[in-house]
Amino acid sequence: MTFRSRRGTRGRWVLLGTAVVQAVSPPLAGFDQGSGSDPVVVPPGPFFAIWGPIVLGCLAAALWGLPLRRATAEPWRRIQLPLSLAQVGFAAWLVAAARLPVLTLPVFAGMLVALVVCLRAVVVTPADRVTRGLLGGSVGLYAGWTSAAVWINAATLLPEGAASATAPLAALLAGAALTAAALTRAVHGQPACVLAASWALLGALVSTASAGAVPLVVVAASGLAVVAATALVPLVRRPA
């Protein structure tokens, strides 16, 4: 058995195990998502329902990638470690949010790095249609949402005065938009990634509009436009 085969053999089980941990961790971690004191850039509750497709998609993808012939082939072999780390990070984030919120930001940032590695591997590697749709769709949603949500996470850690001030919140929204746009460009406008990043920014737009925070509405809307424009560039450049 080659090193690649051994790695794929172990990695497929780690990927499945961490996907299961990710799926069962929300009710076990003791984290209550609702908070009346969240900054106005935090999307309304229904926007967080995107975690359902992400978590279930990761579990389904891990099951699809379990057979050895897939597990030892690309892109599965390349994504097993970073996606497993991201899934462990999800559970760690929930625990930190319930017990030591300041740790949520570095955990979320680490998850984003791992997810970018995964998504890049999926985008640049030829794969069958199911792998591209299931794995690419799940990781795309995961990375796209995280690219913007990590900045919104940072907003929840601001001191009380700054959490209601326009300037720091606008800066964080701009960071979310620029990060989402940079990721969109790096993955050539991968649809699931664009959809999830836009969903996060739309949530911020809805929340700030409901609060009447006009400057923040402008930043969120501009961010949406930048992500959309970035996603359209590869289509415009593609030869007929």
Contact predicate 166/211, CB 8 Å:
no
Instruction: For residues 165-192, give the mean pLDDT.
Output: 97
Instruction: For residues 174-189, give the mean pLDDT.
Output: 98
Farthest-apart Cα atoms in the chain, separation? 62
pLDDT digits (tens, 9 = 90+) for 61-112: 999 999 999 999 999 999 999 999 999 999 999 999 999 999 999 999 999 9
Candidates 8, 137, 18, 17; CA nearest to 85 is 18
pLDDT band at 114 (very low <50, low <70, confident <90, very high): very high
Instruction: For residues 21-27, give the mean pLDDT.
Output: 95
pLDDT band at 29 (very low <50, low <70, confident <90, very high): confident
What pLDDT does 161 receive?
87
For the chain, give every domain's residue range. 3-26+48-237
Residue written as token pair 């289509």: 235
What pLDDT does 164 receive?
87
pLDDT digits (tens, 9 = 90+) for 200-212: 999 999 999 999 9
Q: How far apart are CA 37 and CA 122, in angstroms?
A: 38
> Which amino acid appears at position 23 of this protein?
A
